[in-house]
Structure 1
């Protein structure tokens, strides 16, 4: 599937979900509904996808979220149909996403915009960055991070050389993709769509029903279609390069200066995979302000990295209950 066809399929899907599609002046592709109806009690949900997918990854979750919830779903800069930024560090990417959202809001409503960030994989890392740095004109009421631990933790955490070797083997793409020029040439030669599908299958779980959902509605062809573009491959590698440099330094500086997540945090993760390597009841504690509530939920039954696609019903139930709790706490 060509990239233009992939974008057409994605656009059609969001149209069928009742979403408006926009490609703005900065060439950020996004989909939205209800942006004129947000309030403190009905904040905008900002859904940020991960690697190597696009906004299409939320297609199964969205119908299960609150039917009146305002939602904004971008293609990350450089991914899907969006143009890459000059710098693909998480702060620049996060700022670009919220700038794109701000441009779509009625000007009279731009002074105080309540949002909830929900991110998967690289999108979760962008959400983490924004939750610490903030963005003018937006009030972040909560953050949901799907299937990640802090970037710094993932680079550092190994009790022994054997554990480190095992981790690096499993996360080989982190150092590989960070070598932008080499990785771009090799993936392009191998075939971007083939690489994309192999990585998704490698990180997916073993739940048969979950795999069927993950592959539903031609998702592999859509993601592969985008990844057949060399500029998408290169931009995603730039993303990982910053994950090994700029983003890592920023996180370490945050920890030294005591800058942490100050909003209620929901962690959703694959219990049998990343959940078997990290204790999610504690792994984020040092990254969150004292007294801030952390809720965590492991997706079991062999569900893998792509929880929003492999287990959308369970993910939606957890997210909806958490969002409802945020509203109840705000009224206390």
Structure 2
């Protein structure tokens, strides 16, 4: 799926990150969501290399990146630390400023990057994500039903880890199916990669720690920065058939959090890059190519 990309393993202050690099032009970092890996970009990333140097990375705890054991306060899976991972990756690759696209959990990491390292990021795109603080502040029965895993994964270790490990592939398939139009939108090759990575008990623990951090230390960081706005140009995309697109006024929410926002919905479920790759690619290509 990524034959033209160079695989790398980059050591940051707290993790060893699996990274792929390909193409030529301005650097563009792509961050994946749950329960996936960098593979989620396989329908878009090769085309983006025609205009950009594309960097794909597995977040710590996911894919083939390292999966440190969570700290008692979950701080080593805070979005601040995960954002720092990516800043260090880009620095080691020689990029002081760059563009970033984030989907789902990767978009949460991106949001923290924009707050902590805003001067490093030229333009950013957030795909199908509402800020974590906003989500927890407005949660209702509909959200808790559609995103039950938010509240399951944050339970103390090792309850979710042990239960998921018993039926990891079933749990993964159920998650993908519940958030997409149909699980058939995922290619067999991509699905096999998701299953391979998700079947590792260390990955399950890392994912749980990611969510535990979002329900604890991330909220403290977010609350402290509620008045801080994203300064760079921001594109926001969402799936009009997905829960977030139906439940929130996503553009209005991000206009409260950023100075320069544009965006729109795309006919898709949650996984835009795989469910609607053409529309998603064209939206991203146009935004990042504009002067």
Shift of 1:280: 2.2
* 1:239-279: CA deviation from partner (whole Å, max 9, x where unpaired): 00001011111111101xx2221111111101122111111
Give the secondary structure class of the aligned counterpart of 1:123: helix
Contact 2:48–2:54 (Cα < 8 Å) also in 1: no
1:27 to 16, 40, 52: 16
Indicate the residue corresponding to 1:319 in structure 2: 284
Give the secondary structure class of the aligned counterpart of 1:30: strand
Indicate the residue corresponding to 1:183 in structure 2: 160
Root mean square deviation, CA, Å: 1.7
Q: Is 1:294 the counterpart of 2:264 in the alignment?
A: no
1:272 to 233, 237, 241: 241
Q: If you compute each CA radius of gyration, which structure gives the higher value, 1 or 2? A: 1
* 1:22-60: CA deviation from partner (whole Å, max 9, x where unpaired): 1234421110024xx6xxxx4311000000000111110
TM-score (norm 2): 0.91
Of 224-233 and 149-158, the range deviating more from structure 2: 149-158
1:172 to 148, 151, 166: 148
Contact 1:22–1:29 (Cα < 8 Å) also in 2: yes
Q: Distance in 2 between matches of 1:89 and 1:43?
A: 28
The within-5 A match list for 1:9-88 is 13-14=1-2, 16=3, 18-25=4-11, 26-34=15-23, 42-65=25-48, 67-85=50-68, 87-88=76-77
TM-score (norm 1): 0.80
* 1:164-211: CA deviation from partner (whole Å, max 9, x where unpaired): 12221111111110114211111012x2222111101110125xxxx5
Indicate the residue corresponding to 1:283 in structure 2: 253
Q: Distance in 2 between matches of 1:270 and 1:133?
A: 28
Q: Distance in 2 between matches of 1:192 and 1:150?
A: 28
Q: Distance in 2 between matches of 1:165 and 1:311?
A: 28
Q: Is 1:260 the counterpart of 2:246 in the alignment?
A: no
Contact 2:251–2:264 (Cα < 8 Å) also in 1: no
Indicate the residue corresponding to 1:220 in structure 2: 191
The total of aligned residue pairs comes to 280
* 1:83-128: CA deviation from partner (whole Å, max 9, x where unpaired): 02451111111111221232233xxxx5xx2211100100000000
1:98 to 87, 98, 117: 87
Contact 1:194–1:224 (Cα < 8 Å) also in 2: no
Moved over 6 A (4+): none
Give the secondary structure class of the aligned counterpart of 1:282: helix
Q: Distance in 1 between matches of 2:179 and 2:84?
A: 28
Unaligned 5+ runs, structure 2: 71-75
Contact 1:31–1:72 (Cα < 8 Å) also in 2: yes
Q: Distance in 2 between matches of 1:151 and 1:61?
A: 26
